[in-house]
Amino acid sequence: MSDNELGTFLRAWREAVSPAEAGLPAGSRRRTPGLRRAELATLAGISVEYLTRLEQGRDRNPSAQVLGALADALNLSLNDRMLLRRLTKEADGGDPLVCAAAPSLSRTARPTVRALLDRMEPTAALVVNWIGDVLAHTAGYERLVGPIGLLDDEPPNLLRYLFTDERARSAYRDWDRVADDLVARLRHGVPLRDPHLAELADELTVTAGADFADRFADLATTPRQTGSQHLDHPEAGSLRLLQETLALPDEGQRVIVLLPADDATAAALDRLNGRRPGALRAVGETG
C-alpha cells in the first residue's frame, strides 16, 4: 500500500478530469488528457507549489477549506469527497479534533422532553442537539420527513441531510433560505472552539464544498426563532410550514415544531396522519 494515498488520489482525479469537464479550453500539446497542476490550482484558489506538495506527500495536513475547494474543482461525488476526507485524516495520523476536555454533546432527549413530544402528536416536532443531530421526534414528523430521506442516517442530522443528500434540494423549494438559517444557527449558537462543531464544519466543508463553507464563513446572517418552509412531499404534495423553535438551554437542545401555514397544508397533513379533514387548523403567518 502506498504511504501517499492522499497525493495519489488527488493526482489520479486531476488526470481523470478533462479541461472541458472543468469548463476550460482543451488547448494543444497536452501531455495528459486531464488537468494540469496549474489549472487545478487556479480552479481551487491555491498555489501550484502547494498542490505539488500535496500530490508528492510533502504536505499531509491540508485544511478543510482547501479540500472542499479541490473537491469542488474536481466535481467529486459525495462518496469521493468522503474518501478524500478519510485519506487526509489517515495521512495526518488520526483525528486532531479529539479532545479529552471537550464538553459533552447530548445524544439523547430526557424523558420529560420525550413525554412532551408524545403529547404533541400528530404534530411534526423534533428535538435536536447543538450540531443538528435529531435526538427524538414525533410520529407526525416521521410521516412528514421519512419519505424524503431525512431520517435515513443514524443519527439523522439536519445539516448533513440538507447539504449532502440530493433529495433535499428537490424536497425544499426554498432550499437556500433553509440552508442559510441552519448554518447561521450552527455558526452563532455554538462556541467556535467547540470540537463537535469544528468536526462537523470540517466534514461539510469537504463533502458539501462552497455551498456550506461560504455560509459558514458569513457572520452577517443570524438565526431566526421562527421561520417557514415550503416542502414538496412525495405523498402529501406542496406543503407550506411554519417553524417555531424552543430552547432547552441546560441540555444545549432545541424543540422544533412545524405547523401548517395555510388551509391546504392543514388538510394535506390531516390526510397524511389519517385524521378527519379539518382536525388540524392552519396557523397563518404573522410576519
Which pLDDT does position 96 carry in this prediction? 42
DSSP code for 236: T
What is the rounded distance in angstroms from the CA atom of residue 112 to the CA atom of residue 41?
53
**Residue-wise pLDDT tens digits, 26-40:** 666 666 678 989 999
What is the rounded distance in angstroms from the CA atom of residue 28 to the CA atom of residue 13?
20
Residues of the chain with pLDDT under 70: 1-2, 26-32, 92-103, 191-192, 219-220, 225, 277-281, 284-287
Question: For cell 444557527, what's the residue?
Answer: 185
Cα torsion angle, 48, 49, 50, 54, sign: positive
**Residue-wise pLDDT tens digits, 160-198:** 999 999 999 999 999 999 999 999 988 877 765 788 888
Q: Dihedral of the CA atoms 267, 269, 270, 272 (nearest 10)? A: 130
For residue 132, the one-letter residue type is G
Which pLDDT does position 20 carry in this prediction? 85
What is the rounded distance in angstroms from the CA atom of residue 50 to the CA atom of residue 41?
8
Rg (CA), the chain: 22
Listed in order, strand segments (DSSP E) in the chain are: 124-128, 134-137, 226-233, 237-248, 253-260
**Residue-wise pLDDT tens digits, 228-239:** 899 999 999 999
Choose among 109, 89, 47: nearest CA to 256: 109
Query: Is residue 241 within 8 Å of residue 258, measured between CB atoms?
Result: yes
The pTM of this model reads 0.77
Query: Is residue 258 within 8 Å of residue 128, measured between CB atoms?
Result: no
Which pLDDT does position 279 carry in this prediction? 60
Question: Distances from the Cα of 66 to the Cαs of 41, 84, 152, 167, 251, in angstroms?
Answer: 10, 11, 29, 26, 34
Query: Is residue 245 within 8 Å of residue 226, measured between CB atoms?
Result: yes
Query: Is residue 53 within 8 Å of residue 191, measured between CB atoms?
Result: no
What count of other Cβ atoms lies within 10 Å of the Cβ of residue 108?
A: 14
3-state secondary structure of 97: coil
Classify residue 139 by burial, with Cβ atoms within 10 Å: 0-12, 13-18, 19+: middle
Q: What are phi and psi for residue 258, nearest 5 degrees? A: -110, 125
Which pLDDT does position 283 carry in this prediction? 73
What is the rounded distance in angstroms from the CA atom of residue 142 to the CA atom of residue 167?
16
- Buried b or exposed e, range 182-201, using 16+ CB within 10 angstroms: bbbbbbeebeeebbbbbbbb
Choose among 228, 206, 234: nearest CA to 282: 228
